[in-house]
Structure formats: C-alpha cells, structure tokens
C-alpha cells in the first residue's frame, strides 16, 4: 500500500514547488490569522493556481463562518477542506453540504477517550488524527508534538485516515511502520523556523515515506510494533 503524503502550511512559490517536485500527494494552505503559516486570499489564490493538477489542494480553516468558507472556495478551489477547529459533527455536515466538496476533520488525540469521538464524525470524508494541543497553546495544530501511537492499537479506524503530530523526516518511516497510517500530514516537521518551510526537509520527508510501503494492518504484528515507545518523537 502506498502511503500518501500531505505537506501543510505552504506559503511561498519555492516551497510549494519543492513539495510538488518531491511528489507530495496533497498540499495544504492555511487560512488562520493566528498561525505563522497564514495566507490571505490573494496569496492563497496564486499558490493554488500554481498546483495545476499535480496534487490535491487542501485549504485549512479553523471554525470558519459561511463567508470564510465561500472565500476559500473562490480563492483556492480546494479538492479537500480541512477543518481544524472545534467544529461539531453538525457543523461539519453543514460545511460539507454548503461547499459541495469533501471535508476532512482534524481531531486532537491525547487519551483513548479521544478516539471515541471518531464515530461522531463519521459524516466527514476523512479524519486527521493529530496531537491534542497542550493547555494554553495558541494553535490547534502545527505544534510539533506527537501523540502516543500505542493508543491506536486495536482501534477501529476509518479506511481513509491521516496521521499528524510531531512527524519529521527521520520519524516518517517509523510512523508508517508502527501505525499503518495510509497517509501522513507534516507541517512544522519540515520547517527551519515557525512557518518557514525548508525545501530539503520537504524532499527528505517525502523520500522517507516513499522508501517504505505501509504494511497491511495485522493484529499480532501491529500490536507488537505499537507496544514499543516512540523513538525520537
């Protein structure tokens, strides 16, 4: 199984080109003023236009109102809308209906109780499992923190889920091997400073994932792998 890669928080033509040239499957554009990766709509429009069908375009929004959603659709024409706030299942469904586009809901994971929320968001097209932000964090994601992957052992996960949180080039292959994730999402792990992507790190991350095919989730083997504590994350 080929593991898909999303490079999120791209904000310059050079780093977008690096992601596309490396073979990223999805590229993400953040519209959230508190984020160092925030793009206004003219900048997002210019970058999205440069993708030219080489990858899926993802727009990341945080608790968007309808006006923001319409602006995102007009500017980015996204293939996927990523919701990274406190959107309720009902709001996710409403956004999906209004946009007429697939929606991915990000869920913060810190304990096994957080995994119980997955069933509430069955109406989303995809789920992104990210590390829950620490208390007082200004950002809902992109904090460079992993969650305990052993929580996923035995969990019933949707087929098209994505793993995020604290991923870096040197841990990407391990993440795939230990979780069986069909897709990885990285942002701060390919930056040299908050919001400043590094083309070499982008290339290294994609190469690390491509060098290893994800194993089929298999009960005993998967449980054994997940029982080992994270290394270097």
3-state secondary structure of 29: strand
Q: Is the pLDDT of residue 161 over 70?
A: yes
| DSSP output for 147-213 | --GGGGTT----TTEEE-SS--HHHHHHHHHHH--SEEEESGGGEEETTEE-HHHHHHHHHHHHTSP
Contact between 233 and 166 (Cβ < 8 Å): yes
Average pLDDT of the residues of the chain = 88
Q: Where are the domains of the chain?
A: 4-226
Structure tokens at 30: 């953040």
Structure tokens at 2: 């080929």
pLDDT-derived band of residue 182, with 50, 70 and 90 as boundaries?
very high
Query: Poorest-confidence range of 5-19, 108-122, 205-219?
Result: 205-219
Helix (H) or strand (E) holding 48: helix 41-51
4-226 CATH fold: TIM Barrel (3.20.20)
Is the backbone of residue 23 left (phi > 0), alpha (psi -120 to 50) or beta? left
Helix (H) or strand (E) holding 129: strand 126-131
Nearest to 7 by CA among 24, 21, 23: 24
Q: Is the pLDDT of residue 33 over 50?
A: yes
Q: Is the pLDDT of residue 197 over 90?
A: yes
> In the annotation, is 25 catalytic?
no
90 by Cβ neighbours in 10 Å (0-12 / 13-18 / 19+) ranks as: exposed
> In the annotation, is 8 catalytic?
yes
Q: What percent of the chain has pLDDT over 70?
A: 87
CA 167 centroid distance within chain: 10
Choosing from 130, 148, 160, 200, the catalytic residue is 130
CA–CA gap between residue 40 and residue 142 (Å, rounded): 18
1 by Cβ neighbours in 10 Å (0-12 / 13-18 / 19+) ranks as: exposed
Q: What is the pLDDT of residue 145?
A: 77
94-109 pLDDT, tens digit each: 999 999 999 999 999 9
């Amino acid at each position: 199984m080929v593991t898909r890669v999303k490079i999120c928080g791209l904000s310059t033509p050079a780093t977008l080109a690096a992601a596309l040239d490396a073979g990223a499957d999805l590229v993400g554009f953040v519209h959230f003023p508190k984020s160092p990766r925030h793009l206004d709509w003219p900048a997002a429009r210019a970058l999205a236009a440069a993708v030219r069908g080489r990858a899926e375009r993802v727009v990341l929004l945080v608790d968007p109102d309808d006006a923001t959603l319409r602006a995102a659709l007009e500017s980015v024409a996204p293939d996927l809308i990523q919701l990274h706030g406190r959107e309720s299942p009902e709001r996710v469904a409403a956004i999906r209906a209004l946009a007429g586009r697939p929606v991915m809901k990000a869920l913060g994971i810190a304990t096994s109780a957080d995994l119980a929320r997955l069933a509430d968001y069955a109406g989303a097209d995809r789920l992104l499992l990210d590390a829950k932000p620490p208390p007082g964090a200004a950002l809902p994601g992109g904090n460079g923190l992993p969650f305990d992957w052993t929580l996923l052992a035995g969990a019933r996960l949707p087929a098209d889920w994505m793993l995020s949180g604290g991923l870096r080039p040197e841990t990407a292959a391990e993440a795939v091997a230990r979780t069986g994730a069909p897709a990885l999402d990285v942002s701060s792990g390919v930056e040299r400073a908050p919001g400043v992507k590094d083309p070499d790190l982008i290339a290294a991350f994609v190469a690390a994932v491509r060098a290893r095919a994800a194993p089929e989730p298999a009960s005993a083997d998967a449980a054994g792998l997940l029982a080992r504590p994270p290394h270097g994350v």
